[in-house]
Amino acid sequence: MKRKYPEQELKIDDVLVKQRKLFLYGEVVFQNMERLCKCLLVLDGMNSTKPIYLYINSPGGSVADGFALINTMKLIKAPVITIINGEACSMGGLISIAGKKRYMTHNAFWMGHDMRGGIWVDYSGKVEYRAEFLKRCWKMIEEHLKKYTKLSSKEIEILRNGELWLSPEECLKKGIVDKII
């Protein structure tokens, strides 16, 4: 059977980007954040009023790379709508709360915790400086949580010293999401 149109390989990612649907599935690392930041900038340039949907299923990752994405989300004019579809943990959770509108599916969960120090080898001469830097990073995370959620000081303290796991209903109550879908 002969087709009317030349055969082309369907590139699902290209189709989804054209539909303004982006995916943070996996770790928050440089390569993933670079691609998402570029997509946000291009989509905003094409139409700065039409929403962009960012689906999240991430265990988290790099604080610096995650804040690069959050900063890009805030710099563009197009509203970014985040949808937690699976897990939004650690830096993935912080990204999820930066959306203009924030949604979560019924079977998803959100988790926040303190960041890893990043010291893997004999780093003794620099530990003090790294600790000071981590304090500054934590302050930035804490301000972000206070700005975009209704988490109590006690819950933020749990998050800092352990792990704070929340269901969709708890996320709705705590202002982490606007709606469960």
Q: Is residue 46 part of a domain?
A: yes
Determine the pLDDT at residue 11: 86
- At residue 123, the pLDDT reads 60
106 is catalytic: no
2 in a structural domain: no
**The pLDDT value given to residue 121:** 54
Please say if 144 is a catalytic residue: no
Task: State residue 134's pLDDT score.
Answer: 84
Residue 57 confidence (pLDDT): 98
Identify the pLDDT of residue 34: 97
User: How many domains, the chain?
Assistant: 1
Q: How far is CA 28 from CA 11, 18, 56, 147, 169, in A?
A: 23, 23, 11, 21, 25
Please tell me the predicted confidence (pLDDT) of residue 132: 85
105-136: pLDDT as tens digits: 999 999 998 876 555 555 666 777 778 888 89
Single out the catalytic residue among 58, 62, 90, 96. Answer: 90
Range of the domain at 59: 12-180
* 139 located within any domain: yes
Is the predicted pLDDT of residue 6 greater than 60, yes or no? no
Closest CA to 157 of 96, 109, 113: 113
Does residue 55 form part of some domain?
yes
Among 9-23, 36-50, 66-80, 139-153, the least confident range:
9-23
Across 13-27, 109-123, 140-154, least confident range? 109-123
Residue 5 has pLDDT above 80, yes or no: no
Residue 6 maps to a domain: no
Q: Is the pLDDT of residue 1 over 50?
A: no
Greater model confidence, 135 or 48 = 48
Cβ partners under 8 Å of residue 170, min gap 6: none
Give the CB-side neighbour count of residue 166, counting CA atoms within 13 A.
30
How far, in Å, are 31, 120, 123 from residue 130 at the CA level?
Answer: 24, 12, 9
Q: Is residue 143 over pLDDT 60? A: yes
Give a yes or no: residue 56 inside a domain. yes
In a domain, 5, yes or no: no
- Given 113, 124, 152, 153, the catalytic residue: 113
Mean pLDDT value of segment 64-70: 96
Residue 70 lies in a domain: yes
Q: Which two tokens stand for residue 136?
A: 């500054």
Averaged pLDDT for residues 52-72: 96
